[in-house]
């Protein structure tokens, strides 16, 4: 669909923006309350270079479990390949490959590894077609189920913004910002400082105290090295002890996988800002929900013109060579980058960074869950006097089930999607 508008013309008048009020509910009370199953394009055969396995787990994140399996089987970690990191607070099923001829099938209380056959290529995200979600919402008031039912109808018709959700932003520091933002702005020391001193909520007390020590004694590399515990901490402080202010060199010693996540977190934030800008220009009213970094703007309905245009629109994640599909998308892309202080695409190239890079990847602006339905509403066996609701839907690779929940649990007043006062 062509967009008959000048670059700066707004598709709608100023949007009415309200604070979104979600209903009260609990998720992930039990691992089986949040089930995620990968849907992959892989057909095992009788021979190949890699063994394909189905991995079902609870209480483990993917990388930690694979490191444990590597130690148990006496294999290097890079013998294992996977397509996506799966939540530890969930019951998840995914597919991995192992570069080893043995059948390493294994079942323990928290996971099961089952050999399926052989494939010629290692598992990567490209083989994931999507993920099926079966989610139980608990501790709901019976009268609030109606909000979810109405939202199911509008999401089926109009979809929702395809935001990256909060779990994408683990490397964000509330006071100091994104590590990658510092890299883009050529502030390598500050980027390294955030990396080595950022405290995560789930970390143990000793780790948080150690990181606070690094922050208080920044520049005293001998002292920091004595306190360092992890392999990466020791490597970085030993390098700084020898090379002083070579912060570019130090950042390049951060593990490649971590650097990739650091870059993608900032790209995802900028992409979300673009979509939020679009939502506020194309719809009204808007309900905004607070996130870790900023607010997520949700529309309730869309005009026919907006729906036809936006459901076909793909925006690239910021990176060198990004090519927005039309003048309006280009305008939004440039507007958000300029607001972030990025005035030249050269800054996104990060030529001093050798181990990772920002890749411009097109992503659908709108998300339409497949097979979206409420399977059951029943008395909650864990919370007397409350009810539970079981939701089922399938999302394409890279979309977030938790974002669908944010939209489905907003309070609305009627089937037209008008918000409550």
Instruction: Please give the average per-residue pLDDT across 173-183, as a whole number.
Output: 95
Give the integer Cα–Cα distance in Å for 335 and 344.
12
Least confident range from 45-54, 319-328, 383-392, 407-416: namely: 407-416
Between CA 285 and CA 416 the distance in angstroms is: 12
Q: What is the pLDDT of residues 365-400, one digit of tens each?
A: 999 999 999 999 999 999 999 999 999 999 999 999
Query: With pLDDT > 70 as the criterion, what percentage of the chain qualifies?
Result: 94
Report the SS3 class of residue 398. Answer: coil
Across residues 407-420, what is the average pLDDT?
69
Mean pLDDT over all residues of the chain? 93
Is residue 108's pLDDT more than 50?
yes
Cα atoms in the 13 Å half-sphere on the side-chain side of 275: 33
How do beta strands 286-290 and 17-19 pair? parallel
What does the alpha-carbon distance between residue 156 and residue 286 come to, in Å, rounded to a whole number?
Answer: 18
Q: Is the pLDDT of residue 62 over 60?
A: yes
Task: Give yes or no for residue 4 having a pLDDT over 50.
Answer: no
Cα distances from 237 to residues 145, 175, 178, 256, 260, in angstroms, run: 54, 24, 21, 18, 21
**Does the reported pTM lie above 0.85?**
yes
Domains located in the chain, CATH noted:
43-122 (3.30.70.3160), 170-258 (1.10.1510.30)
In this prediction, residue 294 has a pLDDT band, given cuts at 50, 70 and 90, of very high
Distance CA 58, CA 93 (A): 9
Encode pLDDT of 328-341 as tens digits: 999 999 999 999 99
Average of per-residue pLDDT across 163-184 = 95
Residue 82 host element (H or E): strand 80-82
244: Cβ contacts below 8 Å, ≥ 6 apart: 221
Pairing of strands 17-19, 295-299: unpaired
pLDDT band for position 345 (cuts 50, 70, 90): confident
Interatomic CA distance for residues 2 and 137, integer angstroms: 41
């Amino acid at each position: 669909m062509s967009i008959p508008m000048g670059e700066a013309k707004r598709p709608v008048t100023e949007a009415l923006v309200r604070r979104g009020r979600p209903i009260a509910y609990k998720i992930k009370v039990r691992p089986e309350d949040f089930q995620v199953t990968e849907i992959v394009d892989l057909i095992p055969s009788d021979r190949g270079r890699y063994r394909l396995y189905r991995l079902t787990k609870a209480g483990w994140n993917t990388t930690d479990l694979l490191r444990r399996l590597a130690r148990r089987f006496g294999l290097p970690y890079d013998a294992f390949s996977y397509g996506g990191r799966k939540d530890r607070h969930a019951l998840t099923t995914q597919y991995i490959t192992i570069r080893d001829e043995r059948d390493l099938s294994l079942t323990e209380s928290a996971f099961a590894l089952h050999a399926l056959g052989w494939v010629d290529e290692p598992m990567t995200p490209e083989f994931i077609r999507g993920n099926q979600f079966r989610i139980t919402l608990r501790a709901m008031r019976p009268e609030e189920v109606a909000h979810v039912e109405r939202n199911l109808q509008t999401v089926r018709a109009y979809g929702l913004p395809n935001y990256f959700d909060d779990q994408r932003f683990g490397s964000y520091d509330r006071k100091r910002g994104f590590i990658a933002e510092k890299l883009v702005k050529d502030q390598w020391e500050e980027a390294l400082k955030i990396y080595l001193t950022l405290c995560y909520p789930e970390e143990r007390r000793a780790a948080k105290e150690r990181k606070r020590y690094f922050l208080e004694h920044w520049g005293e590399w001998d002292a920091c090295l004595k306190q360092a515990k992890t392999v990466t901490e020791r490597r970085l402080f030993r390098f700084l002890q020898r090379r002083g202010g070579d912060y570019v060199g130090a950042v390049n010693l951060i593990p490649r996988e971590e650097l990739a996540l650091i870059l993608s977190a900032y790209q995802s934030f900028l992409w979300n800002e673009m979509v939020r800008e679009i939502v506020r220009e194309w719809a009204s009213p808007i309900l905004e929900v607070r996130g870790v970094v900023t607010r997520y703007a949700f529309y309730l309905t869309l005009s026919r013109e907006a729906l036809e245009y936006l459901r076909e629109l793909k925006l690239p994640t910021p990176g060198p060579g990004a090519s927005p599909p039309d003048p309006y998308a280009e305008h939004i892309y440039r507007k958000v980058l300029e607001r972030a202080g990025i005035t030249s695409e050269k800054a996104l190239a990060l030529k001093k960074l050798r181990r990772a890079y920002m890749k411009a990847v097109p992503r659908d602006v709108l998300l339409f869950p497949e097979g979206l339905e409420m399977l059951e509403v029943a008395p909650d066996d864990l919370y007397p006097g409350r009810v539970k609701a079981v939701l089922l839907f399938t999302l394409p690779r890279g979309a977030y089930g938790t974002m669908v929940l944010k939209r489905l649990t907003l309070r609305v007043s009627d089937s037209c999607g008008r918000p409550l006062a």
